[in-house]
Chains A and B, each alone.
Chain A
Amino acid sequence: QKEVEQNSGPLSVPEGAIASLNCTYSDRGSQSFFWYRQYSGKSPELIMFIYSNGDKEDGRFTAQLNKASQYVSLLIRDSQPSDSATYLCAVKGAGNMLTFGGGTRLMVKP
């Protein structure tokens, strides 16, 4: 069974700090990896995706992928209170199906 694991948190960081969110996955055949942000009571919103080993940067967000270690992470630089949300890691294999992790709740304190 394909599994995606995240620490449920809450992860608490001060405003302006770097938040580091981690995700591990079990299926070595996984092809692409997604980070969604979900505010309380709202639907998941895509932040970014990555499918090659290494780093991918988009504004304050950096996704990191290490397929050998089956590990993907999301770094949020200069964290803001508005970044407080649950972050869902999702892993995709064949057939365009997503397997979600349980999500990490991030709290950014002013």
Chain B
Amino acid sequence: DTEVTQTPKHLVMGMTNKKSLKCEQHMGHRAMYWYKQKAKKPPELMFVYSYEKLSINESVPSRFSPECPNSSLLNLHLHALQPEDSALYLCASSQDLYGSYGNTIYFGEGSWLTVV
């Protein structure tokens, strides 16, 4: 079982709605990630937080707004999304961003987002 928990598992939202995806881990990891995955494609990195600070933003549109309230929680705030934003959103965590040998990235079960 994954130790990275994501809620909700499924979300349907209109293009004018504001919603949030939530992610929680209790492994003591200090790096957390948001990925987006479209059907039959690999995960694409969106954001990386290291020690609760935004470390990487892969040129993601501002309608996606990440937030890291503490070392265990990661949110993704959604506003004015487009139908093409419909995808599986994956949260992940790792010990930190240093020493890549064996510093494994673990994924949550994902949140399926449909924008109508």
Residues in A lying within 8 Å of B, measured CB to CB: 31-32, 34, 36, 42-46, 49, 51, 88, 92-98, 100-103
Is the CB–CB distance between A46 and B104 below 8 Å? yes
Choose among B56, B100, B101, B108 the residue that contacts A43 (Cβ–Cβ < 8 A). Answer: B108
Instruction: Give residues in B with beta carbon < 8 Å to A.
Output: 2, 31, 40-43, 45, 48, 56, 88, 90, 94, 96-110
B107 contacts A45, CB within 8 Å?
yes
Residues of B within 8 Å of A96, CB to CB, are 31, 94, 96-100, 103, 105
B100 and A94 contact, CB distance less than 8 A: yes
Q: List 6 A-B contacts (CB under 8 A).
A: A31-B100, A44-B43, A95-B100, A96-B99, A98-B45, A100-B43
Taking a contact as CB atoms closer than 8 A, the residue among A31, A44, A94, A97 that contacts B107 in the complex is: A44
* Given A88-B42, A96-B31, A97-B45: A44 touches B98 (CB 8 Å cut-off): no
Picked from B45, B104, B109, the residue with its CB within 8 Å of the CB of A42 is B109
Q: B45, B88, B99, B100 — which one has the most chain A CB atoms within 10 A of its CB?
A: B100
Taking a contact as CB atoms closer than 8 A, the residue among B40, B100, B108 that contacts A32 in the complex is B100
Contact residue among A51, A97, A102 (Cβ-Cβ distance under 8 Å from B42): A102
Chain B residues near A46 (CB, 8 Å)? 104-107
Contact, CB under 8 Å: A43 / B110: yes
**Does A43 contact B104, Cβ atoms closer than 8 Å?**
no
Q: Quote the shortest CB–CB distance from B8 to chain A (angstroms).
A: 14
Q: Is the CB of A92 within 8 A of B100?
A: yes
What's the minimum C-beta distance from A21 to chain B, rounded to whole angstroms? 14
Q: Chain B residue with minimal CB distance to A31?
A: B100
Chain A residues whose CB sits within 8 angstroms of the CB of B97 once the complex forms: 95-96
- List, in ascending order, chain B residues with CB within 8 A of A31's CB: 100-101
A98 touches B105 (CB 8 A): yes
B45 → chain A, closest Cβ, in Å? Answer: 7
When distances are taken between beta carbons in the complex, the residues of chain B under 8 Å from A32 are: 100-103
